[in-house]
Every structure is written in structure tokens, then in C-alpha cells.
């Protein structure tokens, strides 16, 4: 945090006003379904493999979003256009107790209806071979987006009633083939964030709301390398810099606006991927990813009247994925994948709108070659996002809230891959 910290608001209702937005601020993408900030599902190739091989598999231009060094495996000019649709489902089973200064009837003992809103996630990727050793690339996507529309009578309405967070990312990349077997690359990631939240006003008659709107622009980077190991195996390594989004905006209560600011820390990511061709038709892929979420100790909200600090105490996460590609026909490739990801949040730090727990993912997909220059990827993934047990105390969050929120997601996607030029003999 770059902002100055001061004491918490001593007033219970006042603390609740601040804590409500703080609770929502921890909805940074450790994935309000996926692993860390870098959602792999915006590439349909990766969607069908559960993310296995994300930093090494270079079959189309979408590799540039994960490991820019992978571009060196692509000849000429390549373009990919992707779209995935997320069907999200949560089942809140929550109970709440009275809080000093807030009547017991304010947060009723019910969890409300499913609050996660389905999402459409687009992606555009392009690579260009400049000469025998140099490649350039472009990636445009929304790697994180979440919209929450809670039941107004639910037990979590003072933590978050409506929430809309979107991060738009545009990356420019370069890659260089050092040798025929070793390539390196880097990207600059330009990120624009929109963060809108509405919470219930914890003051009589408890029918009002607090609205906050934030925006931010920031820049990060990605570094990567790939190495061929003989004729049939390859490894890839990528590092994504963690970005600190310093959001500036306003707080609006009954038409009265005041300045408001908060930070959202996105973790640094380290990914190691492997690819090996075991037969003429079968290729195996794997992924291990580490995300440094433990750097998120607390969230700070700066507003007139005092600052508010919310404990986070998140954990680093690990994602393990395995996948397989099978060349069923010359023009049809089948895919399958499985992934396991550890939880970034303990039950006493998990808020209702951040149902982030241990996740298990199952995926299938396919690639169909339409012509020498056009192919289509399709994919489906089911994600079991866990029971999401919740044990929040009034001392930390302004309300005692207990229960669970079983959460799952069904994701479908399609991607068009176009080759615009084949490799030439550069001199």
C-alpha cells in the first residue's frame, strides 16, 4: 500500500461502512473461480486442457497470453479470436448473529439466492514472425471479470449487495530464438480496471445503500522461455509480475459524494509447463503454477473521516494440471484435462462474495482443421470450487456470519485460429 494508514473507525456502524467495501476488495482474482489473476480459460485451447501446458503448447496465437517465448514455434502471421461463456452457480447457506450497533433483524438468518452472474469472456491474440529469429505479438482480453447481484434480503447484503469488477488487459510482446532449441520472450501488460460496488447501509432504517465507483490504469510485465528437449519434448517457464492496482473513485451515500481509494494487489505467478509426444497420435502435457497470494495481508480503504483496514491473510496457491491430446483424424484433435488448485483463503477470512476454496477442474475439447489456414477450437470445463466454509467474526468484519457457499462453474468456449502467412526465407 502506498497510502497512509490510520486507526480503524471506532463506531460499529462506521466500521461496517468501511468494512463492506473492504470485504469486496478482496475479490481479487485468485479466482472467484480461477487460479490467480491469469485466467487461462480465455484461451479455448487451454480451456479444453484444464490449463495443462499453458506455457509451452504453441499451436496458435493464444500462446502469447501465457508465455511470449512460445511465439517462436509459429510461422508467419497468426491470429486467434476466442470467446468463453461462464455459467456460475453458488448455493449460500449462511446464518448471521446480532452485531453491536446493528439490530439483530438487520442481517436475517438466510443466505439469499445464487448471486454470481454469468459472464462472457473474450480474447484476441496475434503473432508476427519478423525474421528468422524475432517475433512480435499482441494479446487483448478480459482476464478477470466478476459480477455479483445478491439477494437484497440475504445475510451478506452489508458485505456486498451488487459488485462489478472487470480488468481489461492489452499486452505487446517480443520473442527471440536464441538457438534452434532455446527461445526467450517478454511482454508489457497494460491493465485497466473498473470496480463498482453497492452495499446495504448499516444505519436505521436499513433500507439505504452505499455506492462506490473506482477506476485504475497500471502496467506489469511477463517474462518467459521455452526449451526443446530432443525431438519430442519441450518445457516452458513463464513469470507474470504482480500488479498493485491503486483504485481511485468516490463513495456515494444518499447523493453525497466523497473521495474514496483502495488498493487491489494481484499476485506474481510462476508457471512451469511440459509437453511430450509419446506416440504419433498422443501428446501429454502438464502444468505447475505458484501464485504469491500470501502477500495480501490486509486491505486498506481511504476515505474522509478515517481509514479502514480489513485483515486478509491469504495463502499462496498451487495449481497442478495434466492433459492429453489425441490426433483422432488428420483434421481432428481431441483434448482432455484435469486440474487441482489449493485454496487461497481460510474459513475465517472468506467473505460470501469471494467463494474461493480448493478447486477441482475437468475439461474436454477439440481442434478441427477447416483448411490449411483456418482451424477451430472448442472446449468445455466443469469446475468444482468447493464447499467454501465461512466463519466471520464481528470483530473483523462487522457481522458474525457462518455457514457455507458450495460453488461451481460450467464453461464453454469457441476459438477461431487463422494463419495469414507462411514462413519465408529471411535474410
What Rg do the C-alpha atoms of the chain give, in angstroms?
23
The pLDDT tens digits of the residues spanning 157-172 come to 666 667 777 788 899 9
> At 396, which helix (H) or strand (E)?
helix 394-397
Grid cell locating 117: 452472474
Q: What is the mean pLDDT of residues 23-40?
A: 43
- Stronger pLDDT, 401 or 83, i.e. the higher one: 83
Give Cα separations from 361 to 46, 323, 340, 382, 389 (angstroms). 12, 11, 6, 6, 19
Q: What pLDDT does residue 211 have?
A: 85
Distance CA 386, CA 350 (A): 12
Q: What pLDDT does residue 377 have?
A: 98
Range of the domain at 392: 29-421
Residue at grid coordinates 474461493: 356
> Among candidates 355, 366, 317, which has minimal Cα distance to 148?
355
Is the residue at 288 inside a domain? Answer: yes
Distance CA 272, CA 66 (A): 11
Q: Are 242 and 268 in contact (CB under 8 A)?
A: yes
Q: Is 56 exposed, middle or buried (0-12, 13-18, 19+ CB in 10 A)?
A: buried
CB neighbours of residue 235 within 10 Å? 17
Is the residue at 22 inside a domain? Answer: no
Q: What pLDDT does residue 90 have?
A: 78
Q: What pLDDT does residue 107 have?
A: 43
Is the residue at 199 inside a domain? Answer: yes
Distance CA 43, CA 141 (A): 10
- Stronger pLDDT, 131 or 104, i.e. the higher one: 131
Give Cβ neighbours of residue 193 (< 8 Å, ≥ 6 apart).
Answer: 165, 166, 167, 168, 214, 215, 216, 217, 218, 245, 247, 264
> Among candidates 179, 155, 144, which has minimal Cα distance to 33?
144
Q: What pLDDT does residue 205 have?
A: 64
When divided into structural domains, the chain yields a total of: 1
Report the CATH number that the domain containing residue 275 is assigned in CATH.
Answer: 2.40.160.60
Q: What pLDDT does residue 1 have?
A: 39
Grid cell locating 66: 501465457
Grid cell locating 184: 526467450
Tell me the pLDDT band of 25, cut-offs 50, 70 and 90: very low
Give Cβ neighbours of residue 133 (< 8 Å, ≥ 6 apart).
Answer: 176, 177
Is the residue at 110 inside a domain? Answer: yes
Q: What is the pLDDT of the chain when averaged over all its residues?
A: 81
Distance CA 197, CA 54 (A): 33
Q: What is the mean pLDDT of residues 114-138?
A: 89
Distance CA 221, CA 56 (A): 18
Q: Spell out a b/e string for 87-107, using b for 16 or more CB atoms within 10 Å of the CB, else e.
A: ebebebbbebeebebbeeebb
Q: Are 70 and 64 in contact (CB under 8 A)?
A: yes
Is the residue at 415 inside a domain? Answer: yes
Which of these ranges, 36-45, 186-195, 332-341, has the smallest mean pLDDT? 36-45
The pLDDT tens digits of the residues spanning 181-195 come to 999 999 999 999 888
Its sign, for the CA torsion 146, 151, 155, 161, is: positive
Is the residue at 38 inside a domain? Answer: yes
Peptide bond just before 419 cis, omega within 30 deg:
no
Q: What pLDDT does residue 325 have?
A: 98
Q: What pLDDT does residue 105 have?
A: 41
Its sign, for the CA torsion 30, 32, 38, 40, is: positive
Share of the chain above pLDDT 70, in %: 74
Q: What is the mean pLDDT of residues 202-214?
A: 74
Chain centre distance of CA 157: 24
Q: What pLDDT does residue 203 have?
A: 65
The whole model's pTM is what? 0.83
Q: What pLDDT does residue 240 have?
A: 93
Residue at grid coordinates 447457506: 93
Give the chain's length: 427
Give Cα separations from 98 to 101, 106, 209, 338, 351 (angstroms). 9, 8, 20, 43, 17
Which of 55-69, 155-169, 351-365 is modeled with the greatest confidence? 55-69
Q: What pLDDT does residue 415 have?
A: 98
Q: Are 368 and 403 in contact (CB under 8 A)?
A: no
Q: What is the mean pLDDT of residues 47-68?
A: 96
Q: What is the mean pLDDT of residues 136-146?
A: 84
Kindly tell me if the per-residue pLDDT of 407 is higher than 70. Answer: yes
The pLDDT tens digits of the residues spanning 267-323 come to 899 999 999 999 999 999 999 999 988 877 777 788 888 787 776 778 899 999 999
Is the residue at 267 inside a domain? Answer: yes
- Stronger pLDDT, 342 or 421, i.e. the higher one: 342
Give Cβ neighbours of residue 236 (< 8 Å, ≥ 6 apart).
Answer: 53, 55, 56, 67, 69, 70, 224, 225, 226, 227, 271, 272, 273, 274, 275
Q: What pLDDT does residue 283 have?
A: 98
Give Cβ neighbours of residue 295 (< 8 Å, ≥ 6 apart).
Answer: 242, 265, 267
Query: Is 280 in a helix, a strand, or coil?
Result: coil
Amino acid at each position: 500500500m502506498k497510502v497512509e494508514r490510520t486507526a480503524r473507525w471506532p463506531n460499529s456502524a462506521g466500521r461496517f461502512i468501511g468494512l463492506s467495501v473492504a470485504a469486496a476488495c478482496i475479490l481479487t482474482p485468485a479466482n472467484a473461480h480461477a487460479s490467480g489473476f491469469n485466467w487461462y480459460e480465455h484461451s479455448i485451447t487451454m480451456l479444453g486442457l484444464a490449463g495443462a501446458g499453458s506455457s509451452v503448447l504453441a499451436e496458435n496465437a493464444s500462446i502469447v497470453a501465457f508465455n511470449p517465448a512460445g511465439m517462436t514455434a509459429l510461422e508467419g502471421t497468426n491470429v486467434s479470436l476466442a470467446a468463453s461463456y461462464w455459467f456460475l452457480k453458488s448455493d449460500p447457506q449462511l446464518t448471521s448473529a446480532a452485531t453491536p450497533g446493528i439490530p439483530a433483524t438487520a442481517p436475517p438468518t438466510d443466505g439469499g439466492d445464487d448471486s454470481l452472474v454469468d459472464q462472457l469472456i473474450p480474447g484476441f491474440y496475434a503473432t508476427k514472425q519478423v525474421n528468422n529469429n524475432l517475433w512480435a505479438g499482441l494479446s487483448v482480453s478480459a482476464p478477470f471479470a466478476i459480477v455479483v447481484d445478491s439477494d437484497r434480503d440475504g445475510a451478506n447484503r452489508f458485505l456486498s449487495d451488487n459488485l462489478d469488477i472487470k480488468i481489461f488487459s492489452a499486452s505487446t510482446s517480443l520473442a527471440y530464438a536464441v538457438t534452434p532449441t532455446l527461445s526467450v520472450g517478454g511482454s508489457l501488460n497494460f491493465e485497466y480496471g473498473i470496480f463498482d460496488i453497492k452495499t446495504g447501509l448499516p444505519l436505521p432504517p436499513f433500507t439505504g445503500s452505499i455506492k462506490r465507483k473506482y477506476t485504475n490504469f497500471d502496467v506489469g510485465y511477463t517474462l518467459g522461455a521455452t526449451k526443446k528437449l530432443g525431438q519430442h519434448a519441450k518445457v516452458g517457464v513463464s513469470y507474470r509480475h504482480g500488479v498493485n492496482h491503486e483504485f481511485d473513485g468516490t463513495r456515494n451515500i444518499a447523493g453525497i459524494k466523497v473521495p474514496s481509494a483502495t488498493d487491489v494487489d494481484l499476485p506474481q505467478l510462476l508457471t512451469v509447463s511440459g509437453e511430450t509426444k509419446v506416440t504419433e497420435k498422443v501428446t501429454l502435457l502438464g502444468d505447475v503454477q505458484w501464485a504469491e497470494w500470501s502477500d495480501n495481508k490486509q486491505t486498506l480503504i481511504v476515505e474522509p473521516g478515517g481509514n479502514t483496514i480489513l485483515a486478509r491473510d491469504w495463502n499462496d496457491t498451487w495449481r497442478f494440471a495434466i492433459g492429453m491430446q489425441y490426433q483422432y483424424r488428420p483434421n481432428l484433435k481431441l483434448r482432455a484435462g484435469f486440474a487441482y488448485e489449493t485454496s487461497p483463503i481460510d474459513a475465517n477470512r472468506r467473505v460470501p462474495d469471494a467463494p474461493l476454496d480448493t478447486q477441482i477442474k475437468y475439461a474436454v475439447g477439440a481442434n478441427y482443421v477447416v483448411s490449411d489456414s483456418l482451424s477451430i477450437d472448442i472446449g468445455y470445463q466443469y469446475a468444482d470450487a468447493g464447499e467454501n466454509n465461512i466463519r466471520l467474526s464481528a470483530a473483523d468484519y462487522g457481522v458474525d456470519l457462518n455457514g457455507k457457499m458450495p460453488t461451481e462453474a460450467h464453461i464453454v468456449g469457441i476459438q477461431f485460429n487463422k494463419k495469414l502467412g507462411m514462413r519465408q526465407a529471411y535474410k
